[in-house]
Structure 1
């Protein structure tokens, strides 16, 4: 089967007609997801707070009026009216305050790692920018030739794995990330890659005879440090030295991205950092995998030094763990 997409004819290698994808359009978060409730809670907080203040004011006015009436007339009917009115107002006041308290809880300002320059995650951005990604997984992408399987699903909570791509796409080396679904996490990752300038395409391609949702992105050069020959052959002291070099360069890359693209690659662990090693020294480190729940917008006023210092304090050779380091051989 052949197809003409992306301006070229290629052989997909498929003999049988693949299973057609369902009419699965990327949908916004459903009720029950945190992002929807966060926006709703903000509105509730804004509207219910003045309402509760009005309840308080009305309560005190009624108390003064009823006290005056009772004192002047000493009428039993006014006493009944007083208590009934008081009961209604107090119940309404309690209910109002409970609603405000409940709605405000998820909206409490947070400071991730104590850093107020870290703003909302890309998962939380999806509702407000849904028009940008509502058709992200609508189209079939033919003409993309998958290469070797280069990353297992364990390295991405919302990913089934990553494939290399044969040839170039839009003149760039690329990889294909197979998604588990097309929900909020997938949409958020599309947004993050778009903001970073590393998104090429998203949609469906044929894998093992069926259409699967994928994100096609620019390939980040390098290898995970633990996969390099230099690291595997190094002594414990040598490995620690390589880690220090990689962390320093990785934090510099994270700081550059934060200032240039106004987003924070938070999950910059060793598996999400691709390095280049030359003559026994790490000379380059770049981050990959922009999972929506662990990629954040940052304040426009944040500086490289702030981000770099935060990153350096967060990661040390002891905390930047390579799984194979802990496995007996």
Structure 2
């Protein structure tokens, strides 16, 4: 009986290995998924001349509103726009001040454009932000609330809060995966 089990394991294990590892043996390019190998800051993603010109213009008519965050790890601050801009009503746009015009910043502009959230990008001269012109991205604001700030979450017991967080994370992951697959955008 032991010999029989070992024989089956000897046959099944290589079959499983081939079934699950086979796609890794075939170059992703042959499967049409080379985009998976490229982050948004790579030359594979930034493959058109216009991709590298995202900050080549000077933006005008931009009026900064409320600052949303202090300087972040990858940005120098987020602001709501005050008044209308390019036909978008007040409060519907966010301006992100970039730390540089790096490939990561260029990739973010292209990714936002691909998903339809980019409104503008370029250099902004505004004394409230910096002495010299800085690279910025203007994007559509995503409306919603931080889960932990909602009344339903605050009124819930620990078990329900945990379930709410888990459900929220599942929805978030599904949406990110869907965007990655449909738009061929991968960032880290």
Give CA-to-partner distance per residue, 1:167-188, whole Å, 9 cap, x none: 3433342100011111111111
Give CA-to-partner distance per residue, 1:234-275, whole Å, 9 cap, x none: 3322321211221232123223313432224xxxxxxxxxxx
SS in 1 for 2:87: coil
Alignment of 1:67-86 (within 5 A): none
- Picking from 77, 87, 94, the partner of 1:161 is 77
Q: Return the alpha-carbon distance in structure 2 between the equivalents of residues 193 and 181 of structure 1.
A: 17
Q: Return the alpha-carbon distance in structure 2 between the equivalents of residues 223 and 153 of structure 1.
A: 21
Alignment of 1:218-237 (within 5 A): 218-237=140-159
Q: Return the alpha-carbon distance in structure 2 between the equivalents of residues 161 and 169 of structure 1.
A: 19
Equivalent residue for 1:122?
Answer: 40
- Picking from 113, 120, 133, the partner of 1:194 is 113
Equivalent residue for 1:303?
Answer: none
Name stretches of at least 5 consecutive residues in structure 2 with no aligned partner.
Answer: 1-26, 29-33
- Structure 1 contact 158–185 (Cα < 8 Å) conserved: no
SS in 2 for 1:175: strand
Q: Return the alpha-carbon distance in structure 1 between the equivalents of residues 46 and 82 of structure 2.
A: 36
User: Would you say how many aligned residue pairs link Structure 1 and Structure 2?
Assistant: 152
When residues 225 and 192 of structure 1 are mapped into structure 2, their CA distance, relative to the original with a 3 A threshold, is same
TM-score (norm 1): 0.41
Structure 1 residue 126: deviation in Å?
6.3
Structure 1 residue 215: deviation in Å?
0.6
- Structure 1 contact 204–214 (Cα < 8 Å) conserved: yes
- More strand as a share of residues: 1
Structure 1 residue 207: deviation in Å?
4.1
Name stretches of at least 5 consecutive residues in structure 1 with no aligned partner.
Answer: 1-108, 111-115, 265-292, 295-329
